[in-house]
Amino acid sequence: MPLALVILGRQGSGTGTQAALLAEHYGVVHVSTGDMLRAAVTAGTELGLRAKAAMDAGNLVSDDIMIGIVDERLAADDISTRGVLLDGFPRTTAQADALAEILGGSGPDLAINLDVPIAEATERMLGRGRDDDNEEAISRRLELYEAETAPLLDWFEARGRLTVVDGLGTEDEVFARLSAAVGALP
Ligand code: ADP
């Protein structure tokens, strides 16, 4: 398996934008579970129907569903040749355990936490106007992030795979910090 990277960060921290830039730069496949779910909702597939209610309420889609989707996506040929940058997965420690198993060994090469304070993240989300970006769903997602996703930082830290990158600044500044972190990998 070539390079396997994970980008973490609370909602509104800019992971989507930066993940796309990084994937392009390193030639790895950008896998965004949020994008996959939104595409499924738009296409009206069974997955979309199952995920929509949770997404609209700002809740997490179940681990079973998410692990199934990612397991299937990571089995594709493009990923075994080019490697992957996961954006939006894992979101829970159960998903992290499953990812380690899917990738074999101890999991991804590096998890980057793109760090943006809550106040700034909330402001950014209100500015972008996605369907699920109303104030109630935003605060619900941020709450869930602290509860479910923040422990992931410990999960990666315990395995020596975590790096924290300051997400404040211009897109270029943040990208330079991120590529320095990835470039420092052995
Ligand atoms: P955000 O980071 O703002 O939550 P995403 O695009 O990453 O946006 O995800 C949108 C929604 O899709 C989430 O609110 C959640 O309902 C669902 N989702 C995406 N990835 C996962 C995941 N790994 N586990 C559970 N739910 C997920």
Per-residue pLDDT tens, the chain, 186 aa: give them.
689 999 999 989 999 999 999 999 999 999 999 999 999 999 999 999 999 999 988 889 999 999 999 999 999 999 999 999 999 999 999 999 999 999 987 789 999 999 999 999 999 988 887 777 888 888 988 988 889 888 999 999 999 999 999 999 999 999 999 999 999 998
Q: Does residue 90 have a cis peptide bond before it, meaning omega lies within 30 degrees of 0? A: yes
Q: Where are the beta strands (DSSP E) in the chain?
A: 4-8, 29-32, 84-87, 110-115, 162-166
Q: Which protein residue has the closest C-alpha to ligand 1 atom 16?
A: 55
Q: Which protein residue has the closest C-alpha to ligand 1 atom 3?
A: 11
From first CA to last CA, the distance across the chain in angstroms is 15
- Ligand 1 in contact with 155 (CB < 6 A)? no
The reported pLDDT for the residue numbered 104 is 87
Global model pTM greater than 0.85: yes
Contact 7, 112 (CB under 8 A): yes
